[in-house]
Structures are given as C-alpha cells and as structure tokens.
C-alpha cells in the first residue's frame, strides 16, 4: 500500500540553525501539506502546495518557513532560523484529488535546543 | 469560525464498552468530517469520514453520527478493545483544496 514517508524521524538542532525536513508524498498525488503538532496539542495546519506553488498558509507559516518541491518526488519544509518554540512533530500529508482523503506521514520530531 | 471543538479531552472505557467522542463546529462551509486515530510517535491515520448528506456512517465497530442542524458530529466505538487505546482527532474542511481543521484530540484508554 502506498504511503507518505518522512525523513529524518528525529532532528535535533541548535536555536538559530536551519533545518530541512523531507517528505516523499504518495506517487501521483497532486496536493501536499505540512502540519505540525506541539507535544500534547492538536494538529495545526502550516501550508498547502499545489501546482508548484503555495495555495494557502497559516499565520504560523511566517518568513522563517519555506517549502519546495525540488524534483518530482520530494517535498521539503525549511525552517531558516529555528526557535525553541519550533520544537514539535511535523507531519507531511498528500492528497490525490481536491476532494480526496489526506494521507499523513509518520512525522519528524524536531527538537530545538 | 474555523474551530472544531472536541470533547472529552480524555476517556477511560472498560473493554467491551462504547466509547463516544463529540465534536462541534461553526463554519457551515465545512462539508467533510473525518476522524483520525493516532498512536504515540505515529502520524494521524484516517479512521472514518462522513459528508453532511448522510446522518450516520458505520464501518465495522466505528460509527459517525452527524447532526447538520446542530453542527455536531460524534464517533462511537462499539465493543471497545485495548488496541483502540489511542488519541482520536475529529477534523473538518470545506470543499476543494482546503486544509483540515483539527479538534484538540481525545485520549482514549480502554482497560480490561
């Protein structure tokens, strides 16, 4: 069964450093998303991406964040200068059609020290 | 307007019992209401979903009840098992390429 994969599973970084979280969405899916979940809290939307551009972003997704689909398979989230409050689980999701189901990856746990 | 309110925050149910989790929303543009199950260290996995043209959907031991006029929907887990112990999130979104709005989650513990 096709699945969304994410790497790394756990990333530890120092405050102020740049991190890149990687995702491989399900092949032939067209819509891509990043969500985050601070420990013990709800899942929050960050950004959606379609047709090689951002379609929607939340207020959390400020100038420190960027997304890219550098090739036909990877979808990345970059945090340019990490802050302590960026520590969270980051989930990538993909969807085949606009009204279809979103499939989530297993997440990357980001720890900012 | 964009919030989905979920209750209870935590739930303890005896094995074989019925687990009931409730959600309410305000945005009448929402037209898709999924429930996700999340185990520790894992991503949310779709459990069951409903659209507002039906009042109930059942898949195995899991049932969604939907009340459009009250803007509420609930998840019922029949014959709850210890393996059902997880965090459950309700969510909602409107049509098209719109993101999911999640409730705060319910931590379910099924005890033998």
- SS3 state at B49: strand
Q: Which pLDDT score is estimated for A60?
A: 94
Show the tokens assigned to A81. 């200068």
Specify which residues A65 forms β-bridges with: A79
Which residue in chain B is spatially nearest to A47 when comparing CA positions?
B99
Which residues of chain A are within 8 Å of residue B96 when distances are taken between CB atoms? 98-99
Q: Do B97 and A102 touch (CB under 8 A)?
A: no
pLDDT digits (tens, 9 = 90+) for B73-112: 999 999 999 999 999 999 999 887 788 999 999 999 999 9
Q: Which two tokens stand for residue A8?
A: 């790394």
pLDDT in tens, B7-47: 999 999 999 999 999 999 999 999 999 999 999 888 899 99
pLDDT tens digit string along A59-109? Answer: 999 999 999 998 878 999 999 999 999 999 999 999 987 777 899 999 999
- The rounded mean pLDDT for chain B is 94
What are the C-alpha distances in Å from A54 to residues A21, A48, A69, B93?
17, 6, 11, 18
Inter-chain residue contact A42 with B105, CB threshold 8 Å: yes
Residue of A nearest to B37 (CA): A104
**Distances, alpha carbon B55 to alpha carbons A7, B36, B52, B89, in Å:** 40, 19, 7, 19
- The pLDDT score that the predictor gives to residue B1 is 59
pLDDT digits (tens, 9 = 90+) for A4-51: 999 999 999 999 999 999 999 999 899 999 999 998 888 999 999 999
């Amino acid at each position: 069964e096709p699945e969304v994969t994410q790497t790394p599973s756990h990333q530890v970084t120092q405050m102020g450093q740049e991190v890149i979280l990687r995702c491989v969405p399900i092949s032939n899916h067209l819509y891509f998303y990043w969500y985050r979940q601070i420990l013990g809290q709800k899942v929050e939307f960050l950004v959606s991406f379609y047709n090689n551009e951002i379609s929607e972003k939340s207020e959390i997704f400020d100038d420190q964040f960027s997304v890219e689909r550098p090739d036909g398979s990877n979808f990345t989230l970059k945090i340019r200068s990490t802050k302590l409050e960026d520590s969270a689980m980051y989930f990538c999701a993909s969807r085949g059609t606009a009204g279809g189901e979103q499939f989530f990856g297993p997440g990357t746990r980001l720890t900012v020290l | 307007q964009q919030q989905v309110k979920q209750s209870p925050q935590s739930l303890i149910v005896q094995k074989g019992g019925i687990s009931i989790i409730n959600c309410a929303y305000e945005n009448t543009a929402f037209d898709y209401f999924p429930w996700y199950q999340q185990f520790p260290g894992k991503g949310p996995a779709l459990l069951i979903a409903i659209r507002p043209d039906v009042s109930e959907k059942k898949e195995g031991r899991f049932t969604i009840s939907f009340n459009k006029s009250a803007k509420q929907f609930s998840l019922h887990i029949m014959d709850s098992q210890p393996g059902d112990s997880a965090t459950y999130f309700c969510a909602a979104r409107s049509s098209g390429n719109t993101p999911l709005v999640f409730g705060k989650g319910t931590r379910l513990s099924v005890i033998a």
